[in-house]
Amino acid sequence: EPEVTQTPSHQVTQMGQEVILRCVPISNHLYFYWYRQILGQKVEFLVSFYNNEISEKSEIFDDQFSVERPDGSNFTLKIRSTKLEDSAMYFCAGGRVDSPLHFGNGTRLTVT
Amino acid sequence: QKEVEQNSGPLSVPEGAIASLNCTYSDRVSQSFFWYRQYSGKSPELIMSIYSNGDKEDGRFTAQLNKASQYVSLLIRDSQPSDSATYLCAVKYNTGTASKLTFGTGTRLQVTL
């Protein structure tokens, strides 16, 4: 069964550095999402993406965050200047109309 | 603010017993409801989806939805140690083209030998 693939599995970065998290959704997905989960807390919505533009974003998704689907397959989340509180698991998810979301394996981001 | 509430647990049940996990949600216009299982350090894995009132069964899992009470539950029959995980209730509010999921905090289930 096709899977949503995320890379890297673990990223360690210093505060203030830029990071790019990558996702390859399942080919027939139309909607793409980024969620994050701080250790011990709930899964939180960051942003949804459809038809090459942002559909909705949460309060967490401020000017430090951006998303792109540069080549029709990869879906990226960029954090321009990381903060300690950005340390979390970041999950990419994809889906179609009226279908459940399928999550990737996640990227653990550690900001030191 | 749309909320999804779950008891964080842990819920401890002996092997072979029925585990009952509950979830309430705040918005009456919620359309779709999902249960995800999450092992520690792993991503959420879809267990069940339910869209209309009543029960939906899939193997050892049964999801129950009561929209009037804004309540959704998951029953796990014949619980196994491998069922020990955190179970996330998620609700899809139709906010537009790409409707997002709102998650509860999850209920940690421990199945004891």
pLDDT digits (tens, 9 = 90+) for B84-110: 999 999 998 765 556 789 999 999 999
Q: Is the pLDDT of residue B38 over 70?
A: yes
Contact B43 A91 (CB under 8 A): yes
Minimum-distance CB partner of A43 among B45, B88, B97:
B88
| Calpha distance B9→A12 (Å, rounded) | 31
Contact B32 A45 (CB under 8 A): no
Q: What is the pLDDT along chain A (112 residues), one digit of tens a residue?
A: 668 999 999 999 999 999 999 999 888 888 999 999 999 999 999 999 988 899 999 999 999 999 998 887 889 999 999 999 999 999 999 988 777 889 999 999 999 9
Q: Is the pLDDT of residue B30 over 80?
A: no
User: CA-nearest residue of chain B to A88?
Assistant: B41
Pairing of strands A10-13, A107-111: parallel
At residue A1, the pLDDT reads 63
Q: How far off is chain B from A69, nearest CA to CA, in Å?
A: 16
Q: How far off is chain B from A112, nearest CA to CA, in Å?
A: 19
In the structure, what pLDDT confidence band is assigned to residue B2 with cuts at 50, 70 and 90?
Answer: confident
At residue A63, the pLDDT reads 95
Phi-psi label, residue A9: left if phi above 0, alpha if psi -120 to 50, beta otherwise: alpha
At residue B96, the pLDDT reads 58
In the structure, what pLDDT confidence band is assigned to residue B28 with cuts at 50, 70 and 90?
Answer: confident
Q: Is the pLDDT of residue B76 over 70?
A: yes
At residue B97, the pLDDT reads 55
A98 contacts on B by Cβ (under 8 Å): 32
- Does B37 or A30 have the greater pLDDT score? B37
Helix, strand, coil % over all residues of chain A, rounded to 5 = 5, 50, 45
Contact A33 B43 (CB under 8 A): no
Backbone angles phi, psi at A34, to 5 degrees: -120, 135
Contact A48 B98 (CB under 8 A): yes
Residue A86 DSSP code? G
